[in-house]
Structure 1
Amino acid sequence: MLAAMARLEAQLIDYPRLAVALSGGVDSMTLAAVAYRVLGDKLMLVHAVSPAVPLEASDRVREHSQRLGWPLTIVDAGEFSDERYRNNPVNRCYYCKTNLYTRLRQVWDGPVASGANLDDLGDYRPGLLAASEKAVVHPLVEAAIDKQMVRAIARHLQLDDVAELPAQPCLSSRVETGLVINATDLLFVHRIERYLTEMLGPGDVRCRITAAGVRIEVPEDIRELHSDQWSAVCVELEQRIANDGRSFAGYDSYRRGSAFVHKPGDL
């Protein structure tokens, strides 16, 4: 872990100044912590707020920045003004990141970094294409750091509340590909997932908006751990879904990216 952190510091020290796009997840928060150690006041952190960003992520960014003295700028990336994004195509993330980095360039004229790590290169990530087009750098990738190493560095830096954060992609990722994204749906998703987390603890819980209705995904191990209260949670969930005037499509085990629907040739 110390070798990985040294590689990252060596990557960062070459920048005379740097902005980091800060989502509030473990990757960008850990990158921000190391970058601040290396660059100090030559660093700017930029966090974008929107209906797709969970309130907890924004609160986390603000709390850490205030407590640790990080230089933080809050922006609205404006992706919800982009019809291409709202239409939720297969490459929705491309339009999201294009809007984000375009907005970031309006407030910063130096190098810009993302929190992408080595593991991200193996996934379908249209946002990385947008980053490439906007000349965004990826210090964690350049330092050959994967998610496991990121978590180890976060623990070493005593970012304990960050180190064990579950994967938390934007709320728009809960909406099935091809269904139009709107702020009302995302607020509903956030309320349901927050209830699940309050009742079952942190973990990979998802509220999916699909053409068939609302689908709830919870890992089997979490359901088994809370088997004594799972039935009551289900009753409450289904009541909340009905009260919001929505159809309930059932329960499933958590599956990463299950709202992402594409046909051969889409990618």
Structure 2
Amino acid sequence: MSASLASVLAGLGPVAVAVSGGVDSLTLATIAHRTAPEPPLMVHAVSPAVPGEATERVRAEAAREGWDLRVIEAGEFADPAYRDNPVNRCFFCKTNLYGAIRRVTGRPIVSGANLDDLGEYRPGLDAAREHGVRHPFVEASFSKAMVRALARDLGLGAVAELPAAPCLSSRVETGIRIEPETLAFIHAVERLVGENLEVTGAKRAVRCRVRAAGIVVELDSQSLASLPEAARITLGRRIAARAPARLSDAPVSFAPYRTGSAFLTGGAPR
């Protein structure tokens, strides 16, 4: 661990770590637990937007490391502003999350955000700022690659290779209402497609986008190139068969992966 990260963590005192189940928050939780004089509180929120695998991963790591873990419901699905899916939907998601964590503990809240996140459109960081959330990796100048390297140094080999996995709501095009059944469909599609790909680990990207124009499965370039046309047709039919009623007539297509392509600002993808 770098001296700068050690200094940041030491200066925070007892903290509550918001643990989503991704590489950043799991790595932060692990290093904080192993080095802090007083064990941190880990808080994980469950909702239709959080894949079950993420929750299982958090529970497994908590059992392995001996964390003090609280699993809560953030309550974002009771917030009409979140369900309406504006371009800053993430602001309302994180507002509900941090509010729920604050009701559990008065400790400073820390997140796994890193320097790479600052270069993207992240309205959730505005919510974090309003709630006084600290970002130790940002303060210690850690990039995503550095977080992955730290995870390996900590013996978290499988965690270090996890692909990026934003919440399931990020797959729904701006302005399309967020529905639990839509997110369950998205998750099922991504698992189905992933089972048919040879690419694994951090390099793999599978996103099922729900757009006004239809269902688009975005893949990293290697996966897309390795998926023959016949396989795409077969997968497309299987995907269509799983679609909820509101998407029953939506066409299914495959395309190259683009970060944040479900967000629309002024009618253009962001």
Q: TM-score range by the shorter chain?
A: over 0.9
Q: Higher mean Cα deviation, 39-48 or 12-21?
A: 39-48
Q: Determine whether 1:28 maps to 2:25.
A: yes
Q: Which runs of 5+ in 2 are unaligned?
A: none
The within-5 A match list for 1:116-265 is: 116-200=113-197, 201-202=199-200, 203-227=204-228, 231-244=230-243, 245-263=248-266
SS at structure 2 position matched to 1:13: helix
What percentage of residue pairs aligned between the two structures are identical? Answer: 50
Q: Determine whether 1:112 maps to 2:109.
A: yes
CA offsets 1:101-142 (integer angstroms, 9 cap, x no match): 000000011111011101111111111110011011010000
Provide closer, same or farther for how the CA distance between residues 222 and 136 of structure 1 changes in structure 2, counting only shifts above 3 A.
same
Q: 1:42 aligns with which of 39, 54, 62?
A: 39
CA distance in 2, matches of 1:50, 1:160: 27
- Matched to 2:105, the amino acid is W
CA distance in 1, matches of 2:97, 2:242: 35
SS at structure 2 position matched to 1:46: strand
CA distance in 2, matches of 1:223, 1:43: 42
Runs of 4+ aligned structure 1 residues displaced above 6 Å come to: none
Contact 1:97 1:127 in 2 (8 A): yes
Contact 1:94 1:126 in 2 (8 A): yes
Q: 1:86 aligns with which of 83, 108, 121?
A: 83
TM-score (norm 2): 0.92
For the aligned residue pairs, the C-alpha RMSD in angstroms reads 1.8
TM-score (norm 1): 0.93
Q: Which runs of 5+ in 1 are unaligned?
A: none
Give 1:263 deviation, angstroms. Answer: 1.2
Contact 2:207 2:219 in 1 (8 A): yes
> What is the aligned residue count?
261
Provide closer, same or farther for how the CA distance between residues 243 and 22 of structure 1 changes in structure 2, counting only shifts above 3 A.
closer
Contact 1:22 1:46 in 2 (8 A): yes
Match of 1:7 in 2: 4
CA distance in 2, matches of 1:35, 1:249: 44
Contact 2:236 2:252 in 1 (8 A): no
SS at structure 1 position matched to 2:36: helix
Provide closer, same or farther for how the CA distance between residues 35 and 246 of structure 1 changes in structure 2, counting only shifts above 3 A.
farther
Contact 1:192 1:237 in 2 (8 A): no
SS at structure 2 position matched to 1:180: coil
Contact 2:185 2:242 in 1 (8 A): no
Give 1:34 deviation, angstroms. Answer: 0.7
